[in-house]
Amino acid sequence: MLTIYGVYRSRAARVYWMAEELGIEFESVPVIQAKRLANPLAPDAPINTLSPEFLAVNPMGLIPSIKDGELVMHESLAINLYLARKRGGPLSGQTVEEDGLLTMWTIWALAEVEPHTVKIVVTYDNEHENTAAGKGTIDVACRSMKRPLAVLEKHLTERDWIVGGRFTVADLNVAEVLRYSQTEQALFNAHPKVDAWLKRCQSRPAYLAMQATRSKEPV
């Protein structure tokens, strides 16, 4: 059975969404971020990213991680590419060329978009969005996202999905990276094709199931 390490209020959400999409039975080990605990190394602390039992799985101390049989993997976007390819079906590449495009768009999201969306979500998580410094950080991040969003907007002008005319792991991975910036609605108003595509992604039953579980976790 697939084991997923991480809470839903983390990048593990991407992997939980993928598991729901693929109908994979999984065990969830709720590893919480150490930064959310006053003393993560206390004897009675819940399992967290600094717990010895989790560091034995991922020495980097980051979530998510998975175990699938003898395979141990880290890095959420790579995990999703692996799960899609192993399971097959419409979320995976049907040709070598599609495999290449799924990887390309995933790396594009990681390299060109996530550095900026993370700055936005961290600013909100730290409740700095209304401070001068926080507003400045968000403004710079939004300006930095204009070019990649323009690229995605143009790509979606003649298609509903990123690769192959159907929802794939590329859509899931890119959508999850962009989710961190959805507080900035002006960005999406300026890119209506991206906005409509993201809403299609987030209306899927598997996404809604993931979010339903996520909403039950403490903030």
- Kindly write down the DSSP assignment for every residue of 65-102, as one continuous string: EEEETTEEEE-HHHHHHHHHHHH-STTS-SSHHHHHHH
Give the domain-ending residue among 87, 108, 131: 87
The enclosing domain of 116 has a CATH number of 1.20.1050.10
Residue 209 lies in a domain: no
Residue 8 lies in a domain: yes
Count of CB atoms within 10 A of residue 14's CB?
Answer: 23
Mean pLDDT, to the nearest integer, of 118-141? 96
Percent of the chain with pLDDT over 90: 99
- CA 217, CA 30: separation in Å to the nearest integer? 10
Give the domain-ending residue among 38, 55, 87: 87
**pTM (two decimals):** 0.96
Query: pLDDT tens, 89-117?
Result: 999 999 999 999 999 999 999 999 999 99
- β strands within the chain, DSSP E: 2-5, 26-29, 65-68, 71-74
Residue 215 lies in a domain: no
Distances (CA, A) of 66 to 60, 102, 204: 14, 21, 24
Give the domain-ending residue among 63, 87, 111: 87
Same domain for 82 and 21: yes
Same domain for 58 and 7: yes
Distances (CA, A) of 168 to 55, 81, 141: 32, 10, 27
Order of strands across the sheet with 26-29?
26-29, 2-5, 65-68, 71-74
Does 125 score more than 90 pLDDT? yes
Does 119 score more than 90 pLDDT? yes
For 149, residues 6+ apart whose C-beta sits below 8 A from its C-beta are: 187, 190, 191, 194
Does 169 score more than 90 pLDDT? yes
Query: pLDDT tens, 144-167?
Result: 999 999 999 999 999 999 999 999
Residue 177 lies in a domain: yes
Enclosing domain of residue 116: 96-204
Residue 212 lies in a domain: no
The enclosing domain of 20 has a CATH number of 3.40.30.10
Same domain for 78 and 113: no
Mean pLDDT, to the nearest integer, of 179-193? 98
How many domains does the structure of the chain reveal? 2
Residue 125 lies in a domain: yes
Same domain for 166 and 105: yes
